[in-house]
Amino acid sequence: MLAMRHISKVFRTDLIETHALRDFSLEVAEGEFVAVTGPSGSGKTTFLNVAGLLEGFDTGTYHLDGVDTNGLSDDARSRLRNEKIGFIFQSFNLIPDLDIFDNVDVPLRYRRMKAAERRERITSALDLVGLASRAHHLPSQLSGGQQQRVAIARAIAGDPKFLLADEPTGNLDSLMARQVMDLLEQINEMGTTIVLVTHDPELARRAQRNVQVIDGQVSDFRPYEPHAQPATFAAAAAG
């Protein structure tokens, strides 16, 4: 379904090379709900960007839904993103000048769908997140939790196989975070594969599988504990 093997990715700036991913291997099966945790700067977002075809990588192979993503053109990557992947961002990333309806419409238009089908999908996606009545509000007229639910509606309206979420609850209070998590579980139960990056161990525990990223590598050694000693991490990384 999603298979990364020996991926490495280096960010080069004038002064330093950052090995954001090194020999990174991970498989996610269809229908899974995987939570990715790890310390700040460990490479979680980089992994998600590579997985979501937002960024390329230097070495290794990555198959997405059976497609080898190596050497795909920019347009082909855009199309794969549009058809197979739904993104949920920490800061929602709704378009402030478009109302809720038009925001959910954005990826559907890039798919050149007919107006009637778009309308149907938008309505049912908004129904699912409980915001159908707000279709013609602007994002600024909604609370943070509501905005994130709109973003979820946008992500699922195109019926993607994968949902990639980078700390979707990072900007929400715990009640709203739980609501968003409920929604993600519901979507997962309907068959969508979800990869969720989070700092919140409570949320991570609700996923079927936890993957910990340390220093650009998957570490299945032990679940991430925010209170763990740095020395333990060093040992874990070395082991």
Partner 1 sequence: MITQDIRPILSALLRNRTGAVLVALQVAIALAVLVNAVYIVKQRVDKIGRPTGVDIGNIIVIDTIGFGAGYDHMATVRDDLGWLRSQPGVRAATVVSQIPLSGSGSSNRLFKTPEAKGEGVPMNYFLLDDSGVDALGVKLAAGRKFRQEEILPEDPTFNQPVPSMIVTRALAKSLFGTDNAIGKVAYDALGRPVTVTGVIEHMQGSWVDWDKLDHVGLLPRQPSGPNATYLVRTEAGRRNAISKLAEEHLSASNARRVVQHVRPLDYYRNRSYQSDRNIAIFLVAVTALLACVTALGIFALATFNVNVRTRQIGTRRAVGARKVDVVRYFMVENWLITTGGVLLGAALALGVGYSLSRAYELPRLDLYYLVGGVVALWALGQAAAWQPARRAARIAPSVATRTV
- The answer to the question of residue 45 lying near Mg ion (CB under 5 A) is yes
- The answer to the question of residue 87 lying near partner 1 (CB under 8 A) is yes
Distances (CA, A) of 69 to 6, 42, 61, 184: 14, 23, 8, 26
Shortest Å distance, C-beta 49 to partner 1: 5
Distances (CA, A) of 12 to 56, 100, 125, 146, 206: 14, 39, 40, 38, 36
> Do residues 36 and 164 touch, judged by C-beta distance below 8 A?
no
List binders of ligand ATP among 21-80 (CB under 6 A). 38, 40-46
Nearer to Mg ion, 126 or 211 (CB): 211
Distances (CA, A) of 206 to 81, 147, 158, 181, 216: 26, 22, 25, 9, 24
> Do residues 46 and 24 touch, judged by C-beta distance below 8 A?
no
Nearer to ligand ATP, 37 or 103 (CB): 37
Shortest Å distance, C-beta 136 to partner 1: 11
Distance CA 154, CA 22 (A): 32
Shortest Å distance, C-beta 176 to partner 1: 18
From the list partner 1, ligand ATP, Mg ion, none, partner contacted by residue 18 (C-beta under 5 to 8 A by kind)? ligand ATP
- The answer to the question of residue 20 lying near ligand ATP (CB under 6 A) is yes
List binders of partner 1 among 119-178 (CB under 8 A). 138, 154-155, 158, 166
| Total interface residues for ligand ATP by CB under 6 A | 12
DSSP-assigned beta bridge partners for residue 4: 26, 62
> Binding residues for ligand ATP, per CB under 6 A?
11, 13, 18, 20, 38, 40-46
Residues in contact with partner 1 by CB under 8 A are: 45, 48-49, 52-55, 74-75, 78-79, 81-83, 86-87, 89-91, 93, 95-99, 102, 105-107, 109-112, 115, 138, 154-155, 158, 166
